[in-house]
Amino acid sequence: MKLSIAIVLFFAAVVAVDAATDAIPYPQGYRQWQHVKSMVIQPGHPLHASFGGIHHLYANDKARTGYRTGKFPDGSVIVFDLLDVNTADSAITEGKRKVVGVMVRDAKKYAATGGWGFEGFAGDSQTERVVGDKAATACFTCHIARKQQEYVFSSYRE
């Protein structure tokens, strides 16, 4: 009896470790990466409910290669850093961080969602995940429109 409980606990632990290693890590240091572009989404824009505010996109070295060549190698990471906007005094300035959206390239691991893993971290939290196992419906359904561009909307400029 005791042995079977131990076996069950052992397998539960293995499954937990597996799930943890599959989780997309918080993109530490992304503010030091390549800035790709910024955009302000105002009320009235169709995506305002989900992505209203100002966002900046950042690419790590591998993703930079992807933007330049059109082929994103495994290990590419792109960050969508979404902040509130303040519009006082006829200026648009950054407010509080709303979410850090992440795309991680691993053609095999994320084959079901175009070779990209998707995750979001709420506000300034590095642990509070907003996507989890819902990447296919919450993110990929929209990014699929960019199949010809490896599911990436933005493009690089010098």
Could you tell me which stretch among 13-21, 26-34, 87-95, 97-105 binds ligand HEC (CB under 6 A)?
Answer: 97-105
Nearest-5° angle of CA 82, CA 88, CA 94?
20
Q: Is 136 in the site for ligand HEC (CB under 6 A)?
A: no
Nearer to ligand HEC, 83 or 102 (CB): 102
Output the six-digit token pair for 15.
């499954």
Query: What is the spatial distance between Cα 99 and Cα 139, in angstroms, rounded to a whole number?
Result: 14
Of positions 10, 19, 35, 37, contacts ligand HEC by CB under 6 A: 37
User: Considering the complex, what minimum distance in angstroms separates the CB of residue 117 from ligand HEC?
Assistant: 9
DSSP string, 65-125: HHHHHS---TT-EEEEEEEEEE-GGG--EEEEEEEEEEEEE-TTTTGGGTTEEEEEEETT-
User: Considering the complex, what minimum distance in angstroms separates the CB of residue 89 from ligand HEC?
Assistant: 25
Q: Is 142 in the site for ligand HEC (CB under 6 A)?
A: yes
Reduce the DSSP state of residue 26 to 3 states and report it: coil
Burial group, residue 81, by CB count within 10 angstroms (0-12, 13-18, 19+): buried
Of positions 103, 105, 114, 115, contacts ligand HEC by CB under 6 A: 103
Q: Is 153 in the site for ligand HEC (CB under 6 A)?
A: yes
User: Considering the complex, what minimum distance in angstroms separates the CB of residue 19 from ligand HEC?
Assistant: 19
**By the criterion CB under 6 A, which residues form the site for ligand HEC?**
37, 39, 47, 57, 78-80, 101-103, 118, 120, 131, 138-139, 142-143, 152-154
